[in-house]
Amino acid sequence: MPSFSNKRVVNHSPADMFALVADVEKYPEFLPLCEALRVRRRSQSGEGVEILVADMTVAYKLIRETFTSRVSLDGPRRVIHVEYLDGPFSRLDNRWEFISADEGRKCEVRFHISYEFRSRTLGLLMGAMFDAAFRRFADAFEKRADEVYGKTA
């Protein structure tokens, strides 16, 4: 099963990075392959955890696929967990963690995703493109943070 993990220290606070990644409706503005994102439902799940059910449409050339996921935004722990519900995958699991660095002035962003397409053909068509996109995600989020919060030294 394909997976990708990345750790990176960025010049923004953990709270700012959590808020940036949690703002899923903005993904189509800057995230590679993300053509559209619609939040179907929002709810609270105790102790500062917000739960979203969202549809994301990813597109590359003539291929367009929409999938639904459950997104747990755990603000107090600064963790975001994405669980697959429906679409072209047989499995998708994604986790973000935002760890304080340099006394909170910086943040170590930990990203992990593992997935498997339901269709072998779709996996062959989109697998390499997904791998390349995941490698660009960290850059896209860091660039977005610099735009939103200002570039810091």
pLDDT in tens, the chain (153 residues): 788 888 999 999 999 999 999 999 999 999 988 999 999 999 998 788 999 999 999 887 787 889 999 999 999 999 999 999 998 888 989 999 999 998 878 999 999 998 888 888 777 766 677 777 777 888 899 999 999 998 875
Kindly report the pTM of this predicted structure.
0.90
Nearest Cα neighbor of 145 from 18, 6, 36, 4 is 18
CATH, domain range 3-149: 3.30.530.20
